[in-house]
Amino acid sequence: MTPLAIRRREFRAGADWPADLHPLLVRVYAARGLVPEALARSRLAHMVAPDAIGGMEQAARVLADAIDRNLAICVVGDFDCDGATGTAVAVRGLRLLGAQRISYRVPNRAREGYGLTPALVESLAGANQPDLLLTVDNGIASIAGVATARQRGMRVVITDHHLPGAELPAADAIANPVLDARCAQPGDGHVPRHLAGVGVVFYLLLALRRHLRDAGRFVRSGSEPDLSALLDLVALGTVADLVPLDGNNRILVAAGLRRIRAGRASPGVAALFRAARRDPARAVASDLGFALGPRINAAGRLEDMRVGIECLLADDPARADALALQLSGINGERQELQAAMVEEGEALVATFLARHGNAGLPHGIVLHEPGWHPGVVGLVASRLKERLHRPVIACAPAEPGSGELRGSARSIAGFHLRDALAEVDARCPGLLIRFGGHAMAAGLTMDTAGLARLAAEFDAVARERIGPGILERIAWSDGELEHDGFSLEAAHVIRYAGPWGQGFEEPAFDNDFALESWRVVGERHLKLKLRTAAGPLLDAIFFGGAEHGPPPPRLRALFHLDINEWNGRESLQLLVRHIEPA
């Protein structure tokens, strides 16, 4: 594993922060570049307006026309949590806004591939074919699929947040903030460039509601639909998709978490909290990312994403509970399969290192095992990327015995995956059948025969684009925590001050400690008793720490402040991320 270096964030706390803001939060916010003005503009009323996204008004007009004419609308979703929550938001939101004939489809991974493909369109064609297709979290690369839909007489509205290729599909409307972000200045807050797929379709519903309002649709009823009821789903999909939590996304996620903590979550989200044994009254972003999101994702990886979507669409709590328990069972299977695949991937890397040494490790790594499951390779790539601190592509047969591979890639900061795959595609035309994604995550389809060439070309591109500093594994710290910071009050303040997540990381601190005692728990974890030079004895837990061997008697630890609950009582606990000799 690449050694980890702790770096401390710099901050200037000279701004005019609110007098009642905890001093620790002043330090943490300032270190993340937040300013008092941004903190003050953190409610739903301060969201960027929908018309900041080009194509949004046209998409709203097309949908309004479909509702007026009572056309059949089919929402085309995706396999992951972002796609599932986006599909549920689209179905629920369109129903609230008056659509009567709503259905949804998620492609069959083996038969129809990813997104709005010609195969998926043909499966919808016929006597009962929909009049309009609305994509969620996909479609920006579906040139052939959109063309097939138009030939079959279907209109198409695309909502997506993935990077487009050189050509855009000939849809009736395209709403994608990435298209507008390319024209914006860096740091321009007027374009919500980091929306997840669920966020884009939520914005479309806001634009559609405004269009219907201006047309007098809600005059007779005297009120208009409350779309804030969808925010728990928006928060779940946004956090699970690991998009940067910029100011606009933090507004969306914070609003969704407030609904959940107030007991106003949709039945499906509430059921997922029960299945995960998490308390919704104490919900934070990490609950969505590490407990609920994986359960939804597991359905798309191993089974049928309809199980996850039906859970999110359920209005009956008993049905939602049954589906949530089914998702938990699928997630358990996913965890076992993932563990076995990661172990095999690490064995492949270990064999390579034994032959070539660390210096011979590729800058860009491509791994493949014939027995791997295509729905789990993304998790394998993510885990190995963390351990090796290299961009990783993990590949598996599209289905047993298939000559086609599905690859999932994960990257490190400073290396843009989709751009790298575009470069591979330009150098080797025809090697990649399809590819797409983001800077940090991407997917591809290719023939098995081209695997060796992909490995060579991906490494070559990575070597050209990755500078020496990018390969350094860095963990950022908010500095040393003062004695009075080790308190349950400080832990509570930080817990609910986020939402913390991708691009707005949870505060971490580093201090020197004396090790009073330690023991192994759960075979892999360390339970520690630590003491600062002038402080009390502190409880700490280091998940996975046992694999690093006994901790040193004097150590430097990188940690989060955590709250341990036991028998109805709360106590401060340090959640350790890294240990090194002091």
pLDDT of residue 2: 67
DSSP states along 295-327:
HHHHHHHHS-HHHHHHHHH--SHHHHHHHHHHH
491 has pLDDT over 80: yes
Q: Among 88, 59, 79, which Cα is nearest to 231's?
A: 88
Structure confidence at residue 187 as a pLDDT band (50, 70, 90): very low
82 has pLDDT over 80: yes
Contact in structure between 334 and 302 (CB atoms under 8 Å)? yes
Residue with tokens 């575009």: 422
Distance CA 410, CA 394 (A): 9
Distance CA 127, CA 119 (A): 17
Q: Among 159, 165, 139, which Cα is nearest to 432's?
A: 165
Contact in structure between 311 and 327 (CB atoms under 8 Å)? yes
Predicted TM-score (pTM) of the model is 0.91
pLDDT of residue 504: 94
> What is the DSSP secondary structure assignment for residue 501, as one 8-state letter?
B
Among the residue ranges 13-17, 478-482, 559-563, the one predicted with the least confidence is 13-17
Q: Mean pLDDT across the chain, nearest whole number?
A: 92
Among the residue ranges 123-127, 250-254, 458-462, the one predicted with the least confidence is 123-127
What is the mean pLDDT of the segment spanning 378-406? 91
Q: State pLDDT tens for residues 103-124.
A: 999 988 777 878 899 999 999 9
pLDDT of residue 185: 44
102 has pLDDT over 70: yes
Distance CA 368, CA 172 (A): 40
> What is the DSSP secondary structure assignment for residue 185, as one 8-state letter?
P
Q: Among 400, 393, 399, 402, which Cα is nearest to 444's?
A: 393
Q: Which residue has the higher pLDDT, 509 or 568?
A: 509
pLDDT of residue 355: 81
Contact in structure between 395 and 410 (CB atoms under 8 Å)? no
181 has pLDDT over 60: no
What is the mean pLDDT of the segment spanning 434-440? 87
**For residue 388, what are its two tokens?**
């090796």
**For residue 181, what are its two tokens?**
């972000």
pLDDT of residue 184: 45
Q: State pLDDT tens for residues 548-576.
A: 889 999 999 999 999 998 888 999 999 99
Q: State pLDDT tens for residues 58-78.
A: 999 999 999 999 999 999 999
Residues in Cβ contact with 449 at an 8 Å cutoff, skipping those fewer than 6 apart: 403
pLDDT of residue 13: 67
Top mean pLDDT of 139-153, 337-351, 393-407 is at: 139-153
What is the mean pLDDT of the segment spanning 259-267? 97
Q: Among 268, 259, 260, 265, which Cα is nearest to 318's?
A: 268
Largest Cα separation within the chain, whole Å, is 77
Residue with tokens 């796609």: 83
**For residue 299, what are its two tokens?**
């359905």
Taken in order of first residue, the domains within the chain and their CATH numbers are 51-222 (3.90.1640.30), 362-471 (3.10.310.30), 475-581 (2.40.50.460)
272 has pLDDT over 80: yes
What is the mean pLDDT of the segment spanning 453-481? 93
**For residue 542, what are its two tokens?**
């280091």
Long-range contacts at 429-437 (CB < 8 A, ≥ 24 apart): 431/457, 433/404, 434/113, 434/114, 434/141, 436/114, 436/140, 436/141, 436/162, 436/163, 436/165, 437/162, 437/163, 437/409
Q: How many C-alpha atoms does 377 have within 13 Å on its Cβ side? A: 27
Residues in Cβ contact with 377 at an 8 Å cutoff, skipping those fewer than 6 apart: 341, 394, 395, 396, 406, 407, 408
331 has pLDDT over 90: yes
What is the mean pLDDT of the segment spanning 203-221? 91
pLDDT of residue 136: 97
What is the mean pLDDT of the segment spanning 391-408? 92
Q: Which residue has the higher pLDDT, 283 or 379?
A: 283
What is the mean pLDDT of the segment spanning 41-55? 90
Q: Among 105, 25, 28, which Cα is nearest to 73's?
A: 105
Percent of the chain with pLDDT over 90: 73
